[in-house]
Amino acid sequence: MKRYYLSYADWSATEFKAILYCILKGQINYGPHPELLRKKLSNYYTPSTVYTSNYGHHAIKTALEIFRRQMPERSEIILPAYICPSVLQSIKLCGLKPVCVDVESDLNISPAAISNAFGVKTLAVIVPHMYGCPAKIKDIEILCREAGIFLIDDAAQVIGVSQDGRLLGSFGDVGILSFAQSKTIVTGVRGSGGALLINKARHHQDASKLAKLLPPSNKRFTVLLEFLWSYLWEKYTKNSAYYLGRLVQLLGLKTRNSITYSEMSNIEAAIAIEQFKRIDQIVLEKSRIVEAYKQALNGQTTLSFPQYNLGVFLARVMLLIPEEINAGILRKALKKNGLDIRLGYDAYVIEGKNNKNAEGLAPRLIGVPCVPGMSNVEINEICKIILQAITVILLSRNNT
């Protein structure tokens, strides 16, 4: 049986050459590449200024700290109810209150919901382009500007993608980039890199001061090996990564890491530079895969593709399954049939708050393989496997 794996990065030989070069030079944690990356990104996103660190959500935390200094009387952050948990974590680490509002059918935050949520305590709005699907960031920028509220353009998954002639990440007061697995530019996992884009001059001084407080990078080689073994080479290492990790923990050689913010490592910045050289190629290939999935799904009504638009780039392809299908049960069935999928985020539910779309869509989303170079035949086969599994589950339920 052929197995279809998820994709975590689009790497070529150049990324591995960069890794080897850093190892041979003895420049794994420290070296020239973080500053080179910062300059390249600053030139790309000009007139924005870029500050790198080891986590994308560190950039969110930094931005919120800057905003709080400028408006200490405000404490509420508006964000979508369908969101990566690390964003919520960053808000809470700053002692601020998340105010989650509903999303539209494409999983992005609704401008109307944002406007309705504005209040005297609103400090900022965080707008992620969910899975790479562009949000209505220009409309939201106007809303925030008129209301005197800060805006974070969370472009973690959309490096190299533009809207209305502007790069995503360049809207609002600041932008956010991330280089973790399953993004556009990928350097590894867990603290492998991120960046804060300062889009408004009023924030430069505070951002510079906070960037200088970051400690040096440390112990990144073992994390890079973990990414290679457990993610990038999963096709070959299979379940060995899980058992190896359990053994290491049982022997007391490794404890679960807590989040520690630091400068970005030299080796991961070197990988990012090589990825950045191929950014147009990476975006085009993901766009091709998105279109191939749309064509493969034509003519059926079981699965829908809520984020599809002609020519759109998506960091992940997320499909919507029928309401009566349990995504966890489907995942197990697909695994037996040689297909790996991922589930979506949980909706952030607050008692008494109506986020109908987020709560309805979240449990029905599945992420399917979008491996660079995969053929239309393979994509057709993946869709066929999912549709057959859903049919079997429904028949089994009807017969009991």
What is the domain partition of the chain in residue ranges? Answer: 13-212, 279-398
Dist. CA 337–CA 23, nearest whole Å:
40
pTM metric for this prediction: 0.94
Helix axes 266-277, 279-297, angle to 10 degrees: 70
CATH architecture of residue range(s) 279-398 = Alpha-Beta Complex (3.90)
Task: Please write the tens of the pLDDT for every residue from 71-112.
Answer: 999 999 999 999 999 999 999 999 999 999 999 999 999 999
Task: Find all residues with CB under 8 Å of 362, minimum gap 6, and list them.
Answer: 82, 344, 345, 346, 347
CATH architecture of residue range(s) 13-212 = 3-Layer(aba) Sandwich (3.40)
For residue 41, the SS3 value is: helix
Number of neighbouring beta carbons within 10 Å of residue 399: 6
Which parts of the chain have pLDDT scores under 70? 241-258, 350-352, 400
Q: Do domains 13-212 and 279-398 have the same CATH topology?
A: no
pLDDT of residue 255: 44
Reference 83, options 337, 377, 362, 393; nearest CA is 362
pLDDT of residue 360: 95
